[in-house]
Amino acid sequence: MSFWWQTSLNPIISLMRHANYPEDAVHSYTLLLQAEILPLLGPSDPAYPSWMTDDHTPLEFSLVLAKTGELLVRFAIEASALPLSGDRSVKSLRKVLTNLSNAMTMKPNFDLDWFDVCAEELLLGDTQPAPPHMGPVSETFIGFDCAHYSSAMKVYFMPRIRALVTKQTPEEMLTRTAARLGLEQPWSKITQFLARFLPGDQPEPEIVACDCVPGAKNRIKIYFRTHILSYSHLEFFLTLGGTLEGEDVAAGLVKARLLWDALTADGPPAGKLRYFPSGLVYYELRRDRPNPTSKGGLGLPYLPVQRHLPNDLVAAKAIDRLGPHLPVFSEANPYSRFVQTVFSHRALSARSGIHTYACCTVKPVGSEISLYYNPEAFAPERTIGLRGALGTPFACTSMFTHSPVDARNIATLFVHEWERLTNGKEDASLCLAPESCLRDLLVFSPTFRMLEGREKVVQHILSASRNFRNFSIVGRVTFKAVSETLRMIQGRTHFDDDTATFNAVFTLFSRDNGPWRCWALLTVFEGLKQPSSQYNIQSPGARFDTVIVGAGQAGLATAAQLQRLGLKVCVVERNARVGDAWRARYKSLEFNTPKDFSHLPYFPFPEEWSMFPAATLVADHLEKYPQVLKLDVRTGTEIVHADYNGEGKIWAVQLQHADGSTSTLNSSHLVVATGVDILGGQKPKMPQIPGLDVFRGQALHSTAIRDVGQWIGKRVVVFGAGCSGHDICLALSRQGAAEITMVQRAATAVISRDVLLKLFPDMYTGEDRPPIDVADELYLALPTPISKILRSTMMEKLASLDADLHYKLRATGFKLPEVNDFIERLTVRRGGYYIDQGCSALIADGTIKLQPSEQVKGLLPNGIALVNGEKLSADIIVFATGFEPDSKPAPFLDDAVFDKTGKIGGIDEEGEAIGVWRPSGHENLWFAGGDLFNCRFYSRLLALQIFRMQSALVGPEF
């Protein structure tokens, strides 16, 4: 189907955009083409023997040049899929028409009464078999008038097959049809006119058309083929042999003459007959008009153009001559330039073929000229690389120019298919790649899920109990060539259900010029439709809806989100001041990621701050946070015990204050947000090195360090080569330590800050960055299995930028990972990396010495014994070795609580954090933690989960 989209349907969309159609109308027609038209065109190989065009393309479209200056687009298709499948029944065709009508969002009153009469009288249908030599051939094609804000559909009948099989003449069949439709009078005028021709010259009725509207508004159009059409013939036909008169007829003759002269100006030399072989003229029959009306059609199909005009460029230049009579085009903006832009796959002077017919019409609002085109699906310029590249119903090959228009078209087609899939249409699952991944954040299930593989993704989506609707693309759709063989399109869509709104980020990919399919989906619960004040919040017997333990970034962000939803929240902090957790770290601590990546909700960091602010600034900002947002934060208060009453669904939280007094808070929910390291544990990890008990110097964990200035002139050994280990070594060097040694246990991924910033293009840095909530969704758009694939490609491209740095580090014996997996360590492992702030250069030049951990034998009273027998002198030993995993990160909770939660922290088999920001396993107990980015993004989701459970209107179930 990608073959038909590329060659035949995408040009229609391109034509609409060049004709200045409103974007919402273009999207509507794009969905119609994708969902309903594509399946009707059938396979492309072998080519179906369509009668519509000379190269058998089963589609033709046209551009109407209205006197008002408006350009309108029409198209017609032969539903090849039906005869190719052996289905020639009128019942099937009628079903197709009904489906098409339902799919047209801008349609008039739909009615098939006249269609039923025409089908019964003019089609062979399934009543008798077609002659064997005809093979699979259709007797109808379907036309679409696509105005900006309205659309109409008509059916064209080709009665010659029935005439051939039943030994009737088309005129006899038409006489019966006209009688049944009440059109005897205008039809009799035509039969009288036809009687005036000699038998060999008589025009033959070839096509009959009727609109799919109620009879009072309907009409029948009968197309006649004439073998020779000179201008005198043309006037003879337009006036029905001189019997039709009036202003409309006179105006029509003027326009017909203009068109005729323009198209024959470059014709045969003077003295030779100027004519068009195989011209078409049609007459329109209506119940309320005694006479038929006529329309002159000048035949410009393949053969006539080759005989009369040298190529399509000459035909286009001929239309240019009509510029003074058509306000649509001008000398500055000629039609020939316009058509070359739409048909960009070929030069108009290369060969004949795209122009098929040109005709004029006189209407009450003025005259129109219509130009018909063959999209040339089987022309060599179109088929190279396309044949056999069939994919999903929305698949398009990478032969597109990848303009914003192309990318948005492809994205629109996917969103329509995905909407069908979310509403139970399992056949739409082919829009997903077999290896597709879905990360679902509270949309299709009440927790966080990451599904890998199309089968699992589809099963998960179809399991949702809600009905989703109103799918629309929001914001930009972007295209990116990841490599020579891999291309991606990414965009965001918005949708809703009865009570809530949702966002999704989709990532489509095309590999090796193959079809476009969805590779990754991120679905996110955005918010509630109604203001929170309209919900009935229930907290029976509880003073607070939620008590939060810890006023760090996780606790504060969650409190802000809950309060914004109208819930009553209290935050308990054991330190004397908010921000003390940051103040307690070493003074030189700075952000490792850009400031704009780390804002908290509703109160961002000041613009004037540097890109990587110091910890002391962050601490002061956190202290202002509850003041600005008016949060209830109680400092100098520690939780002694928290007990849950399952029957009343209330937490009794016992507090001890700085003055020694105690109190109890009752709350429906309890959120434990006791530190950034809740994911990995709370207890500092102290390696068990032999001889630690005999070492006479200071041995301490990095969390105990505030100021390294006290160690001027000291010999310091730092165990650990992650961010903390590097930062402490750098601070020691700047503060004048006598000797600094870093002990490295495992490989560390190192990246410079300049390269780091390249990982955030147009997301969190730069003037053109999107709103932070949009940036967050784009940042998380690729689930882990897919991001691993792309990370390697991205890091390979960036590796050269840090090549000199890595070379110097390796020369010292510093261990770098064989594969640069920095992004995975940053976002998934949350450790094992360093963002260079200057320490790497000091390691490279020997200012900071390096020692592999496997060379450490044990500690001595005044240093470290090495395996090779040497001694490393040390006055201070710092363990920057992280934290012990702890399945019970809240000592004030009973063991019975953790029997229900199981392990808290770490990553489950789907790649999601266990029990953090989502249901913990214990009723109304939640855990929150992580860096500033995670706290900003996931705090909203945690708040929405708690709000849903507290709201009697919505209820706890998703």
Hey, is 59 helix, strand or coil?
A: strand
Q: Are strands 715-719 and 876-879 parallel, antiparallel or unpaired?
A: parallel
Q: Mind listing the pLDDT tens digit for each residue in 637-689?
A: 999 999 999 888 999 999 999 888 999 999 999 999 986 444 444 577 888 88
Least confident of 77-91, 377-391, 505-519: 377-391
Would you state the CATH architecture of domain 686-775+789-881? 3-Layer(bba) Sandwich (3.50)
Q: Mind listing the pLDDT tens digit for each residue in 66-122?
A: 766 788 999 999 998 888 777 888 999 999 998 888 887 656 678 999 999 999 999
The reply to whether domains 404-529 and 686-775+789-881 share a CATH topology is no
Distance (Å, whole) CA 368 – CA 306: 26
Q: Mind listing the pLDDT tens digit for each residue in 802-836?
A: 888 888 999 999 999 887 777 677 766 667 888 88
The per-residue pLDDT for 386 is: 38
More confident position, 760 or 707: 707
The per-residue pLDDT for 577 is: 93
Q: What is the mean pLDDT of residues 502-524?
A: 88
Q: What is the mean pLDDT of residues 881-895?
A: 77
Looking at the predicted structure, is the pLDDT value of residue 28 above 50? yes
Hey, is 837 helix, strand or coil?
A: coil
925 — pLDDT class (breaks 50, 70, 90): very high
Q: What is the mean pLDDT of residues 122-129?
A: 81
Per CATH, is 404-529 categorized as 3.40.50.300?
no
Distance (Å, whole) CA 790 – CA 784: 10
The per-residue pLDDT for 886 is: 60
More confident position, 173 or 775: 173
The per-residue pLDDT for 270 is: 36
Residue among 429, 760, 415, 799 nearest 595 (CA): 760
Ranges of beta strands (E only) in 673-738 are 683-684, 698-701, 715-719
Q: Are 668 and 649 within 8 A, CB to CB? A: yes
Half-sphere exposure of 944 (CA within 13 A, CB side): 22
CB neighbours (10 Å) of residue 531? 9
The per-residue pLDDT for 512 is: 73
User: Structure pTM?
Assistant: 0.61
Q: Which H or E run includes 740? A: strand 739-744
The per-residue pLDDT for 185 is: 94
Least confident of 121-135, 147-161, 180-194: 121-135
Q: Provide the mean pLDDT of the chain.
A: 82
The per-residue pLDDT for 330 is: 77
Angle between helices 170-181 and 184-194 (to 10 degrees): 160
Q: What is the mean pLDDT of residues 209-229?
A: 86
Domain range summary for the chain, segments of one domain joined by + = 2-383, 404-529, 533-680+885-950, 686-775+789-881
Question: What phi, psi does 243 have (nearest 5°)?
Answer: -85, -20
The per-residue pLDDT for 272 is: 37
Q: What is the mean pLDDT of residues 514-542?
A: 77
Q: Mind listing the pLDDT tens digit for each residue in 434-489?
A: 899 999 999 999 999 999 999 999 999 998 887 898 998 998 888 888 777 788 89
Scored b (16 or more CB within 10 A) or e, 914-948 reads bbbbbbbbbebbbbbbbbbbbbbbbbbbbbbbbbb
First-last CA distance in the chain: 37
Looking at the predicted structure, is the pLDDT value of residue 402 above 80? no
Cα Dmax for the chain: 124
DSSP track, 773-828: HHHHHHHT-S-HHHHHHHHHHHHHHHHGGGHHHHHHHHHTT----SS--HHHIIII
Q: Which H or E run includes 928? A: none
Residue among 110, 107, 82 nearest 96 (CA): 82
Task: Provide long-range contacts, Cβ within 8 A and 24+ apart, for 705-710.
Answer: 705/585, 705/586, 705/878, 706/584, 706/585, 706/586, 706/587, 707/586, 707/587, 708/586, 708/588, 708/732, 708/735, 708/737, 709/735
Distance (Å, whole) CA 258 – CA 312: 19
DSSP track, 629-652: HT--EE-SEEEEEEEEETTTTEEE
The per-residue pLDDT for 210 is: 94
One CATH from 1.20.58.220, 3.50.50.60, 3.40.50.300, 3.40.1110.10 for 533-680+885-950: 3.50.50.60
Looking at the predicted structure, is the pLDDT value of residue 704 above 70? yes
Looking at the predicted structure, is the pLDDT value of residue 955 above 60? no
Q: Are strands 469-481 and 715-719 parallel, antiparallel or unpaired?
A: unpaired
- pLDDT above 90 coverage of the chain, percent: 34
